Amino acid sequence: MQFQRKIFPMSPRKPIYEGKAKQLFEGPEPGTLIQHFKDDATAFNNVKKGTISGKGVLNNRISEFLMLRLQEIGIPTHFIRSLNMREQLVKAVQIIPIEVLVRNVAAGSLCKRFGLEEGKPLGQPLIEYTYKKDALGDPFISEEHAFAFGWATPQEIDEIRMYAFRINDYLSGLFMGVGIRLVDFKLEFGRLFENEREHIVLADEISPDNCRLWDFKTGYKLDKDRFRQDLGEIEDAYREVARRLGVMPQESDSNIIPVAKETKKK
């Protein structure tokens, strides 16, 4: 008699939400979610679409690394633990529908809106907010919009601002240590009900999808602007960020992108 291995099919996971670059599934315990990182990339509010091969794996590792470092300095985050190459277990939070943009150097929409030259350092870090609503093109808002529309309270915005500046200070130093200028980035926060209290926690992801990262010496772009602006070598740029942070899935000692080789410390 032929031996037949019985295969127990895994029960399908309940999808909760599908975003442009990530998918959320119901987690194994109440109050948890599985965050799955896709290779899909979009820009200009979904107008430009594509895939960046291996991006999901790299962003999962990069975001895990950065969230853990931020937890170490006391920033509460939704991150619990990594599950596999593309997935992490996170706390289920109620996302505040505001994108928090932190900028150190003029780039992207700031240059367009204010006629600035890309690369101009700002006198001090700048925080801006947009309303997270693709159908409206994520319009820029002031704190007052958030209060008037009931998206966040003044206390919550105070806390978010404080976290955003601390995150900027810390990550600017961390990236500087691996030869990268943290030009700007986007954060999302959520509300977590824990210990009979409501807390603000950092959610979403931090990766080259939502940061501008430039090689310190050459200015070479190591982020999603390579996709937005059709600059090529997109995958290599993401891999280079992972490599410099020491989180490449296959450890590699040498620089990945040729231009970064020029910047290698002698």
Task: Give the shortest CB-234-to-ligand ASP separation in angstroms.
Answer: 13
Residue nearest to ligand ASP (CB): 42
- Binding-residue pattern over the window 12 to 51 for ligand ASP, x denoting contact by CB under 6 A: --------x---------------------xxxxx-----
Binding-site ranges for ligand TMP (CB under 6 A): 101, 107-110, 138, 184-186, 210-212
Residue 228, contacted partner among ligand TMP, ligand ASP, none, CB below 5-8 A by kind: ligand ASP
Distance CA 195, CA 201 (A): 14
Beta bridge pairs of residue 213: 182
Least gap, CB of 136 to ligand ASP (angstroms): 13
Give the count of residues interacting with ligand ASP (CB under 6 A): 8
110 binds, among ligand ASP, ligand TMP, none (CB under 5 to 8 A by kind): ligand TMP
114 is an interface residue for ligand ASP by CB under 6 A: no
- Shortest spacing between CB 110 and ligand TMP, in angstroms: 6
Residue nearest ligand TMP, CB atom distance? 108
Binding to ligand ASP, residues 188-227 (CB under 6 A): 224
Residue 211, binding choice from ligand TMP, ligand ASP, none, Cβ under 5 to 8 Å by partner class: ligand TMP
Q: Which residues bind ligand ASP (CB under 6 A)?
A: 20, 42-46, 224, 228
